[in-house]
Chains A and B, each alone.
Chain A
């Protein structure tokens, strides 16, 4: 077990070094002077030269990488000239919105995928099965930003049931005092039901849109695992002990189907991260993803570059945590002596 974990940590670290090298090389390939790019076209030559020295751009490529990584790891992610703020400050300020949206999207994807997979495996009927299967193909084939736009067309423009692209709260709602940065949590803490309900109403469409692709992915994975596991003898035996088929599926098949699915949760996280870049803009959601698209629009790539390396770190670390968690939850791995698989 320990060997498994330490081995996994080492490979993750190597991946991160490799990923940062790729990000660094791509950064250096960017046409034009990075210092000029950082400072913008209106900065004076002196300032550019000073920054070049500070960034170590006059040194060897290796020392440049070293300085680049040192700055990144110490939280200095550059300067966004279009906003006049530090990239780290910008991203951190936008992070809670992205996290809240991601959590709700994940919740939607998870609940929908589990119930769809259970029902379609349980019923074994061609109709329910075909319907859910078609839905999963749609979820994996639809461009999320386009889907979000169509949802707005139907539910905001058409029926007027849900708010339009106006961010996290309606204009006339006073935001609750910031504690966690998650509006749903903060409004509950403040006891402000109006704000809470409004925050939820604003979350529905973006969360469904962002969660759609992870839903399709998770559903297909879970379904395949469930289909195999429901054929295992222990399901029949569990029913022979006095569980209904449904209870045997929920209590025995589902937990067993989750284990292999858990290791894929890292991929799911990556989908949410990349999806936030595509979806937030449509709903004018004030998160990190929208910050990236704004940066592209304004040709201010410092934010984009920081986001790219940051997402690699988050992605690799999540996969690592999830792998270790899966190993710990599986008694066959967790309790084996000596570790190695």
Chain B
């Protein structure tokens, strides 16, 4: 039985995602104030018509910073998903169709990456390569590789044994052709779900790295760094500095997770949620 409100929450997720994407793409072009423009006449101004999310200690418009922050978060999310999918997916395919030796070597490599809690691995990379937004993105992408690789390998191993694939192997189809025509298309559904959830993971982790100072640096308009900047003012009354960027992260991640959940449900009709009982 489909749950009451499921379609509404799905619509909500799409709406949030659309708003964030439009805001990220067009917002900085339309909004007259820049994310780094300072107005020393109005530091720490409360939200108003001119500054819908208030201003920070240097009079920078929080709304302008929020929009650019959305752009950064969504861009990093997209890059991480793409990189993780390509690298992790390739490792997974190679492990799945390669022989025992290839499989063992690649999977031990993945085990080593997965031996760190994901955020900690991303931290290790930024510490090693130098602190910043770019290295944070690289670190998060690396920490997402095991997610994709393990899933892809499992999928490939499963699909490989399906009759139609074995038939085309028996008929002497070329390996590349089998991968491209038979294996990859069938992994698309699970990979799509994984992409959506890694997208949410990337945004959350980017904010975390920014917050502890290993990602974007203040005054870069990245959501996590903005929260750090706002932290010292939050308990003295200037709550808007930290509130809005946090809301941005929350909404973006929830939208991504809702989409992932819903995709999985519709792709896997036997999942519990679709059953009558």
CB atoms of A and B under 8 A apart anywhere in the complex?
yes
Cβ–Cβ < 8 Å partners of A138 in chain B? 250, 254
In the complex, residue of chain B having the shortest beta-carbon distance to the beta carbon of A32: B130
Cβ–Cβ < 8 Å partners of A145 in chain B? 208, 211, 227
**Please, how many angstroms separate the alpha-carbon atoms of A274 and B209 in the complex?**
11
Stretch in B53-61, B112-120, B172-180 with 4+ CB within 8 Å of A:
B112-120
- Please give the distance in Å from B254's CB to the nearest CB on chain A: 4
In the complex, residue of chain B having the shortest beta-carbon distance to the beta carbon of A25: B128
Cβ–Cβ < 8 Å partners of A19 in chain B? 112-113, 115-116
Cβ–Cβ < 8 Å partners of B224 in chain A? 143
The reply to whether A27 and B128 form a contact with Cβ atoms under 8 Å apart is yes
The reply to whether A308 and B124 form a contact with Cβ atoms under 8 Å apart is yes
Stretch in A41-49, A246-254, A290-298 with 4+ CB within 8 Å of B:
A290-298
The reply to whether A315 and B115 form a contact with Cβ atoms under 8 Å apart is yes
Whether, in the assembled complex, A316 has its beta carbon less than 8 Å from a beta carbon of chain B, the answer is: yes
Whether, in the assembled complex, B136 has its beta carbon less than 8 Å from a beta carbon of chain A, the answer is: no
Q: Do A30 and B235 form a contact, CB below 8 Å, given A137-B257, A143-B204?
A: no
In A109-141, which residues have CB < 8 Å from any B CB? 126, 129-130, 134, 137-138, 140-141
In this complex, how many residues of chain A approach chain B with their Cβ under 8 Å: the count is 63
In A298-340, which residues have CB < 8 Å from any B CB? 301, 304-305, 307-308, 311-312, 315-316
Stretch in A10-18, A170-178, A181-189, A201-209 with 4+ CB within 8 Å of B:
A10-18
In B216-274, which residues have CB < 8 Å from any A CB? 224, 227, 231, 234-235, 239, 242-243, 245-246, 249-250, 253-254, 257-258, 272
In the complex, residue of chain A having the shortest beta-carbon distance to the beta carbon of B230: A149
Whether, in the assembled complex, A199 has its beta carbon less than 8 Å from a beta carbon of chain B, the answer is: no
Whether, in the assembled complex, B129 has its beta carbon less than 8 Å from a beta carbon of chain A, the answer is: yes
Cβ–Cβ < 8 Å partners of A157 in chain B? 234-235
Cβ–Cβ < 8 Å partners of A17 in chain B? 112
Cβ–Cβ < 8 Å partners of B114 in chain A? 15
Whether, in the assembled complex, B3 has its beta carbon less than 8 Å from a beta carbon of chain A, the answer is: yes
Whether, in the assembled complex, A224 has its beta carbon less than 8 Å from a beta carbon of chain B, the answer is: yes
The reply to whether B3 and A130 form a contact with Cβ atoms under 8 Å apart is yes
Stretch in A57-65, A67-75, A276-284 with 4+ CB within 8 Å of B:
A276-284
Cβ–Cβ < 8 Å partners of A150 in chain B? 242-243, 246
The residue that A146 contacts in the complex, of B3, B108, B246, B258, with Cβ under 8 A, is B246
The residue that B242 contacts in the complex, of A149, A156, A228, with Cβ under 8 A, is A149
Interface string of B202-220 (1 = CB under 8 A from A): 0010011001111000000
The reply to whether A228 and B235 form a contact with Cβ atoms under 8 Å apart is no
A-B contact pairs, 29 of them (CB 8 A): A18-B109, A18-B111, A18-B115, A25-B128, A26-B128, A29-B129, A126-B3, A129-B3, A130-B4, A137-B257, A138-B250, A140-B253, A141-B249, A146-B207, A146-B227, A146-B246, A149-B227, A149-B234, A149-B242, A150-B246, A152-B235, A228-B272, A270-B117, A271-B117, A281-B212, A293-B212, A305-B127, A308-B120, A308-B123
6 closest A-B pairs by beta carbon, nearest first, are A18-B112, A26-B128, A146-B246, A270-B117, A19-B115, A141-B253
